[in-house]
Amino acid sequence: ATDYRGKNLSMTNNKVPNLKSVFVRHALGMQIPYEQGILNSVRKNPARTELMELEPIVGVTEEYRVFVTAEVLYELPESKLKLKKRVPILNNLTQDIFTYKKEMDTVISELKLSGKEQLEFLKAHIHEDIRVKVKEAETYEKYFEKIFRRKYKSKFSEKYENLLLRTKQSNHVTIKEYKDQLDNITKRISITDKLSKVEGKQLIKKWFFKGLHMETKLMLAKEGIKSMKKAIQIIQSVELILSNAGQGKKFNQVIHKSFKNMKINDSLENTSQNFKNEKKIFNEKKILIEKKINSIQQSLPRLRIQYQETGEVIQALYDTGATDSFINKELAERWDLKINETREKGLNVILTDGSDVAIEGETEIIICIDEKEIPVKLLVMKMKEPIIIGYDLITTHKITINHETNEFNILGKVVVNGQNVVIKKRSDLYIKTLNIKEKIKERIDKYKGKVDIKKPIKDACFGIDLTTDKIP
């Protein structure tokens, strides 16, 4: 067997081409021998191709002969498994081009073809009638774009818009399936109506929220979610809770069954009894999970703190897992603490229940231990706990706990279980006093450094030298 240059392609005189080169030769229209046993005879390359001859590509000399790879058989060398892969062939435009492209993308990826090889390989697997209509293109993707434009004309637009109307979240088990269905439809509309990428994204966002179930819409509205990405994350987290709390596949099967019985135009009041039962299960499982979280939180060590100004006592959570220390915004406002701006403002903190909360500022309180007064900074945010003692305070002020007796040790002071630690509001006068004390200490230390006479000053001998006999 020879190619169009007359070069010998016989397997006996040349090395057996690898899988990639076999495909590329088919795509380029080079002659390939029909003897299937030759490729199978080499153990290092256990792949067999079944070839189908077509008409030559338009504009190419008759010496070129195009072969289409109809099927590829992969024989795995380390096992007895045989995998058969069907290579897609586009014979007419009545086929689903999106499905065809997806299959072709997979083959192209497996073969690791270069840009030019991708285009030639694609053209070799498309019927001549389509190639004549589509004409030429520079790349693989642009060639597909021309095929799309050829098939999906404006008359298809109305059909796909009707599909969007019928696509509802309640018809799908998961939010991912619902989103994938919308993606497939909106891609087709984008082509038929020649929409830009931005317009395509706006279209899918509009129909995504429009097709959500009423319960889902209420949940997102309560959370103030307007982003499609955030909405999907929240819904997926709910699905995760359900699958963990329920029996996974069983739960999905029940949901799917109830969704099948639902009609598109049903209102929330007319929802099937099956769905109401699943809603009840969801609420029960959610309450159970919240109870577990609360029981774990209650078992964590806590320090009793008393606010000096009002006498109010709260339980501060001792949490080595928290990098910073926090105070509840509502508590800070009730205690009339000054909330200042901070560079952390706007950053989000993930709490133990999985919620995402933004930092709203920082404040400062004074911890009173015996005669010591320790200024402490706390980040302010909305949370269930009144105060969280984080790793920053634990390390800075050497706070430790004896888990057996539940006793805290703060700067050497032991606080037994049931004893209160007093805190007070930071005042400007306190800061001024603190600054004065620091300055006095600084001057004393400086003076001590200069005076290095061992004997007291009163015992030192002094002499006076007079340089004039006149007394001033």
**Residue pointed to by tokens 């030639």:** 120
Q: Are strands 326-328 and 387-389 parallel, antiparallel or unpaired?
A: antiparallel
Global pTM value: 0.34
Q: What is the pLDDT of residue 301?
A: 73
Residue 122: exposure state from Cβ atoms within 10 A (0-12, 13-18, ≥19): buried
Q: Which residues pair with 52 in a beta bridge?
A: 68
From first to last of the 472 residues of the chain, give the pLDDT tens digit: 333 334 444 433 333 333 334 444 444 444 444 333 333 333 333 333 333 333 333 443 333 333 444 454 444 455 455 555 566 778 888 787 778 888 888 777 766 677 777 887 788 778 878 887 877 888 888 888 888 777 766 555 556 666 777 788 877 778 888 888 888 878 777 776 677 778 778 888 888 888 888 778 877 887 788 888 888 888 887 777 666 555 444 334 444 444 344 333 333 334 345 555 666 776 776 677 666 656 655 666 778 888 888 888 888 887 776 778 889 999 988 888 888 887 776 677 766 555 678 888 888 888 887 777 888 888 898 888 888 888 788 888 778 877 667 778 777 777 766 678 888 887 655 555 555 666 666 666 666 655 555 555 555 565 656 565 655 5
Q: What is the pLDDT of residue 437?
A: 64
Question: In the chain, what are the domains?
Answer: 19-151 (no CATH), 155-296 (no CATH), 302-428 (2.40.70.10)
Q: What is the pLDDT of residue 172?
A: 77
Ramachandran angles phi, psi of 253, nearest 5°: -65, -40
**Residue pointed to by tokens 């109506």:** 193
Q: What is the pLDDT of residue 451?
A: 53
Q: What is the pLDDT of residue 292?
A: 64
CA distances to 11, 309, 435, 438 from 432, in Å: 94, 20, 5, 10
For the chain, counts of helices (H) and of strands (E): 16, 15
Q: What is the pLDDT of residue 354?
A: 56
Q: What is the pLDDT of residue 303?
A: 81
CA separation for the pair 456, 440 (Å, rounded)? 22
Structural tokens at position 213? 């179930």
**Residue pointed to by tokens 């070799």:** 124
Secondary structure (3-state) at 255? helix
Ramachandran angles phi, psi of 423, nearest 5°: -125, 155
Q: What is the pLDDT of residue 289?
A: 65
State the DSSP code for 8: B
CA separation for the pair 28, 120 (Å, rounded)? 6
